[in-house]
Chain A
Amino acid sequence: MPDRSHNIDPDRLLGLYKTMRRIRAFEEAAEAASLDGRVGGAVHLSIGQEAVAAGVCANLRPTDQITTTHRGHGHCIAKGTDPGAMMLELFGKEGGTCGGKGGSMHIADFDVGMLGANGVVAAGIPIAVGAAHGAKLLGEDRVVVCFFGDGAINRGPFLEGLNWAGIFALPILFVCEHNSYASTTRTEAVTAGPGATARAESLGIEAFEVDGNDVVAVDGLAGELTGRIRAGGGPFFVTARTYRLKGHTSVDPGAYRDEDEVSLQWAEDPMNRCEEELQRLGLAAAELETIGRQATEEMAAVAAAATAAPHPALIQAFTDVQDVGAPVWSALP
C-alpha cells in the first residue's frame, strides 16, 4: 500500500490549497451575481466540496478527460478551465466557454479535457464510459474521471455504465461526491443498501471510501488509482464523503436541513482543514491570507469583466445546430 498518511510535500499542498481557494472564490462571485440578478439561470454551488475537485484533478494531465454534473464549476477550474470564460458563460456573454449558449449547467472545455457538465442527473456517466471506451479504441493513453453525486446512483445509467466499464476494463475512475443530499431529499432515505461503494464492488469494481473534505487524503487516493490506471488497470471507484454547505441552488436557503447539522458541517469545511494542515507544515497564516485574497481578487475581476462583456450576437442562437438541415437565421421584426 502506498503511504496515505499526511506526509505531503508542502508545495504540493499549497498548490491544492490555491486551487480550492480559487474554486471557493469563483463560487462566491457566482453566488453574488446570481443573487443580484446578473446571472439568470440556475447556479449550483460546490462550496464545501472543493477538496474533491482539487485533490482528484491534481493527478490528471491535460490529455486526461473528465465529465461532471450540474455542480461542476470546481471540477472545471481544477481541470484547468479559465474561470474568466466560465464566468462569461454563467453570465451568458460572448467569450463564454460555450459562447453563452449553455450556462452554468453546460460548461464544457474540450481543450483541457473537460467533456461537459450536464443538466440531466447521471447522464454524464455513460458519456464518461464512452470516452474511456474511445480512448481504448484509439489506443490513446489517458485516464477518464467521471464525477457524479450520490443522488445519481439510483438512476439506471449508473448501473449500466459501471457494468460496461467493468466488462470492457476501461481506464476510468468513477468519483461519487457523496454530500448526503439530492436537492431537498436526504439520499439515505431513497437509497437501498449500503450505497455507492458496495454497488460498485458488487460489479467487481475495486472501490474506496475517502474523506472528501481532506484534500490530502483525496489527492493520495486519486494519485494511487490514476497511477494504476496508467499502468493498465481500471476501472476504479471512489466515494468521497463531503457536504454541500450551501443550498441546492444559489437561491435555495436549504430550510429542509437542520441548522445544527449545517453548522457542524461548516466546522468540517475542507478549506479550514487544509489551512490547519498547512500551518502544521509551517506555513504562515499571513501567506494563506494572501492566497485567499488573490483568489478573491482574481474572481472579482473575472465577474466584473463578465458584467461588462457584450451578449453574443443573435445569430449565435442558430449556429452549431447541425450541418445538413441547419436552421436559417433572419433578424426578426
Chain B
Amino acid sequence: MSSLSYLAAATRAVAEEMRRDDRVWALGEDLGRGGVFGQYRGLVDEFGDARIADTPISEATIMGAAVGAALVGTRPIVEMRFADFALCAVDEMVNQAAKARFMFGGQARVPLVIRQPSGMWRSSAAQHSQSLEAWYTHIPGLVVAAPATPADNLGLLKAAVRCDDPVIYIEHKDLWALEGEVPDDGEDVLVPLGRARLARAGDDITVVTWSKMVGVAEQAAELAAAQGIAMEVIDLRTLWPWDQEAVFGSVVKTGRLLVTHEAVQVGGFGAEVAATVAEDLSDSLKAPVRRLGAPRTPISYAKPLEDQLRITPERIAAVAAEMLGD
C-alpha cells in the first residue's frame, strides 16, 4: 500500500485508464494547466492536448460533444469543474446521454464519465456549493458514484471509465487534500460500481452515507462510542445502483437506520434509502428510520450561516442517541 491524496488518486486513475485504453480522453476548461483544482496536473505532458483537451467555456457543447464522441466509440471523461455548472448542460446529460441507448433500441452506447466536484468548500455560496446527486439518481440510464476516500477515488473512477453507460461522478471539493492508503503503483485495482463499503462496524445502529459525510459519520461513531453506542457506518460509494444487500444486512443486524447527507434533506437520496428499508424491513426495525440532511435553503456565503447548514458529528451522534431511546 502507498498513500495518496483524494485528488492525486483521481489523477492516477485517469492516467492509468488513458494508458490502458487509447480511446479514453478528457475534456474541459483549463485542463491543459491541470484543471481548476489541479486534478489533471501533468496529464497533458504525457498524453498531449488532443487527449487532455482544453475546451471553451461551453458546458452544453462539452457535454453534447462528449455524447457524440462516445456514440462513435471514444470514451470521454467530461470535466464540469463545479457540479453547479453541469446545470448548463442538463439537456445533454438527461435527454441525450441518459436516453440514447434506450431510445435507439440498443444500437448505441454512451460510455462517458461526468466529473462533478460538489459540496460546500471555502465559503463558495449558493452557486458553487451544491450537492445535487439525488437529481441524477432519478434519471434512468445514469449511474451515480460519490467516493469518500482516496482508494475509492482511484478504484471507482477507473471502474467508471470502464463502464459502458454514462456515470455521474461526484467528487467532494473538501476532500481533495484528504490522504489515504491506495494500492501500490502498477496494481490495477477496480472498485466495482454498486458495492458499498463497511467504514466501521457496530451493532446498535446503521448509519448510511456517502462522499464527505462518511468521515463525518466516522467521527460521530467515536462520539457515540463514548456514550456506549456502537455505530455501524456504511459508505454507499455508488448511489445508483445502491448496495441494498449491504444496507439490508446491516439493518437486520442493528434494527436501526439513519441516513445522512450534505444535500438538502427534502427529496434527497436519503429518502429513497429510508423508504426502501421502511418498506422491506419493517419487521426488523426497532426504531423508525431517520434522515439527517441540510435544510431546504440555498447555501449562504457568511461562514456562520454556512456552518449552520452542515451536518456535524455531534448532530449525527445526537440523532443516534435519540434512536436508542436516550
A residues near B (Cβ < 8 Å) are: 40-42, 89, 92-93, 98, 100-103, 105-106, 118-122, 151-152, 154-156, 182-185, 189-191, 256, 311-312, 314, 316-318, 321, 327, 329, 332-333
CB under 8 Å from chain A, chain B span 197-221: none
CB under 8 Å from chain A, chain B span 102-153: 122-128
In the complex, the 5 A-B pairs of residues with the closest C-beta atoms, listed nearest first: A92-B302, A154-B56, A103-B301, A119-B127, A40-B123
Q: Do the beta carbons of B301 and A184 come within 8 Å of each other?
A: no
- Given A119-B125, A155-B88, A317-B309: A102 in contact with B301 (beta carbons within 8 A): yes
Q: Do the beta carbons of A332 and B315 come within 8 Å of each other?
A: yes
Minimum Cβ distance to chain A for residue B92 (Å)? 11
Which of B57, B84, B300, B315 has a CB less than 8 Å from the CB of A122?
A: B57
- CB neighbours of A184 from chain B (8 A): 30, 32-33
List, sorted by A's number, 24 A–B pairs whose CB atoms are closer than 8 Å.
Answer: A92-B302, A102-B126, A103-B302, A105-B128, A106-B301, A119-B125, A119-B127, A120-B127, A121-B57, A151-B56, A155-B57, A155-B59, A184-B33, A185-B30, A185-B54, A189-B54, A190-B54, A191-B56, A314-B308, A317-B309, A318-B295, A321-B297, A327-B295, A333-B314
Q: Do the beta carbons of B33 and A316 come within 8 Å of each other?
A: no
Minimum Cβ distance to chain A for residue B307 (Å)? 9
Which of B84, B124, B315 has a CB less than 8 Å from the CB of A41?
A: B124
Q: Counting CB contacts under 8 A, is B58 at the interface?
A: yes
- CB neighbours of A190 from chain B (8 A): 54-57
- Given A120-B84, A152-B57, A311-B302: A185 in contact with B33 (beta carbons within 8 A): yes
CB under 8 Å from chain A, chain B span 16-59: 29-30, 32-33, 36, 54-59
- CB neighbours of A152 from chain B (8 A): 57
Q: Do the beta carbons of B304 and A314 come within 8 Å of each other?
A: yes
Q: Do the beta carbons of B305 and A333 come within 8 Å of each other?
A: no
Q: Counting CB contacts under 8 A, is B85 at the interface?
A: yes
Q: Counting CB contacts under 8 A, is B252 at the interface?
A: no
Q: Do the beta carbons of A183 and B30 come within 8 Å of each other?
A: yes
Closest to A311 in B: B304
- CB neighbours of B318 from chain A (8 A): 333
Minimum Cβ distance to chain A for residue B235 (Å)? 25
User: Interface residues of B: mostly helix, strand, loop or mixed?
Assistant: loop
Closest to B299 in A: A317
Task: Apart from A106-B301, A312-B302, A314-B304, list 14 A-B contacts with CB within 8 A.
Answer: A41-B124, A42-B124, A92-B301, A103-B125, A155-B58, A156-B61, A183-B36, A189-B54, A256-B33, A317-B306, A318-B295, A321-B296, A332-B308, A333-B318
Q: With A and B bound together, what is the CA distance between A282 and B57 in angstroms?
A: 46
- CB neighbours of B126 from chain A (8 A): 101-102, 106, 119
- CB neighbours of B88 from chain A (8 A): 120, 155
Q: Mark B299-326, 1 if CB is under 8 A from A, else 0.
A: 0111111101100001100100000000
Q: Counting CB contacts under 8 A, is B90 at the interface?
A: no
Q: With A and B bound together, what is the CA distance between A330 and B246 in angstroms?
A: 35
- CB neighbours of A105 from chain B (8 A): 125, 127-128
Q: Do the beta carbons of A101 and B308 come within 8 Å of each other?
A: no
Q: Do the beta carbons of A100 and B301 come within 8 Å of each other?
A: yes
Q: Do the beta carbons of B122 and A311 come within 8 Å of each other?
A: no
Which of A106, A151, A314, A327 has a CB less than 8 Å from the CB of B305?
A: A314
Minimum Cβ distance to chain A for residue B254 (Å)? 23
- CB neighbours of A122 from chain B (8 A): 57
Q: Do the beta carbons of A318 and B57 come within 8 Å of each other?
A: no
Closest to B61 in A: A156
Minimum Cβ distance to chain A for residue B37 (Å)? 12
Closest to A157 in B: B88
Q: Counting CB contacts under 8 A, is B73 at the interface?
A: no
Q: Do the beta carbons of B300 and A41 come within 8 Å of each other?
A: no
B residues near A (Cβ < 8 Å) are: 29-30, 32-33, 36, 54-61, 84-85, 88, 122-128, 295-298, 300-306, 308-309, 314-315, 318
Q: With A and B bound together, what is the CA distance between A182 and B31 in angstroms?
A: 12
Which of B57, B61, B305, B314 has a CB less than 8 Å from the CB of A182?
A: B57
Q: Do the beta carbons of B315 and A154 come within 8 Å of each other?
A: no
- CB neighbours of B298 from chain A (8 A): 321
- CB neighbours of B305 from chain A (8 A): 92, 100-101, 311-312, 314, 316-317
Q: Do the beta carbons of B301 and A101 come within 8 Å of each other?
A: yes
Closest to A312 in B: B302
- CB neighbours of B61 from chain A (8 A): 156
Q: Do the beta carbons of B125 and A102 come within 8 Å of each other?
A: yes
Minimum Cβ distance to chain B for residue A276 (Å)? 35
Q: Do the beta carbons of A183 and B29 come within 8 Å of each other?
A: yes
- CB neighbours of A106 from chain B (8 A): 125-127, 301
Minimum Cβ distance to chain B for residue A41 (Å)? 4
- CB neighbours of A102 from chain B (8 A): 125-126, 301
Closest to B34 in A: A184
- CB neighbours of B55 from chain A (8 A): 190
Q: With A and B bound together, what is the CA distance between A76 and B88 in angstroms?
A: 26
Minimum Cβ distance to chain B for residue A60 (Å)? 26
Q: Do the beta carbons of A154 and B295 come within 8 Å of each other?
A: no
Q: With A and B bound together, what is the CA distance between A221 and B304 in angstroms?
A: 45
Q: Do the beta carbons of B30 and A316 come within 8 Å of each other?
A: no
Q: Do the beta carbons of A317 and B297 come within 8 Å of each other?
A: yes
Q: With A and B bound together, what is the CA distance between A40 and B299 in angstroms?
A: 14
Q: With A and B bound together, what is the CA distance between A119 and B29 in angstroms?
A: 16
Q: With A and B bound together, what is the CA distance between A185 and B33 in angstroms?
A: 8
- CB neighbours of B29 from chain A (8 A): 182-183, 185
- CB neighbours of A311 from chain B (8 A): 302-305
- Given A41-B123, A154-B56: A327 in contact with B301 (beta carbons within 8 A): no
Closest to B264 in A: A327
Q: With A and B bound together, what is the CA distance between A41 and B302 in angstroms?
A: 9
Which of A121, A156, A191, A329 has a CB less than 8 Å from the CB of B60?
A: A156
- Chain A CB count within 10 A is highest, among B59, B301, B309, for B301
Q: With A and B bound together, what is the CA distance between A28 and B309 in angstroms?
A: 32
Q: With A and B bound together, what is the CA distance between A189 and B32 in angstroms?
A: 11
